Amino acid sequence: MDWICEVAEKSILWIKVKVIGKQAHASTPDLGINSTTLGSMLILIYMILYMKNMI
């Protein structure tokens, strides 16, 4: 996972995240990595931290 963090004018925080998964055959889906799931987890973690005012 790659990410870039940049602070701009008026305290705006821009974060660019690149999440990479791994393809798997339909008969062995447990060998793959779902990038959508990883990205969703990242968003949820960010939201939890934001709600707790830790960011």
Does 46 map to a domain? yes
Q: What is the rounded average pLDDT of the residues 38-54?
A: 86
CB atoms within 10 A of CB 17: 14
Helix, strand, coil distribution of the chain in percent, nearest 5: 40, 25, 35
Domain count, the chain: 1
> What is the per-residue pLDDT across 5-17, written as a single tens digit (0 to 9) for each?
666 676 677 778 8
Does 44 map to a domain? yes
Does 8 map to a domain? no
Q: Count how many residues are written for the chain.
A: 55
Q: Is the pTM of this model over 0.85?
A: no
By residue range, what is the domain housing residue 37? 22-55
Does 42 map to a domain? yes
At residue 8, the pLDDT reads: 65
Does 28 map to a domain? yes
User: Contact 44/38 with Cβ under 8 angstroms?
Assistant: no
Residue 17's Cα: distance from chain center in Å? Answer: 6
**pLDDT band (50, 70, 90) for residue 41:** very high
Does 1 map to a domain? no
Does 40 map to a domain? yes
Q: Is the pLDDT of residue 40 over 70?
A: yes
At residue 53, the pLDDT reads: 74
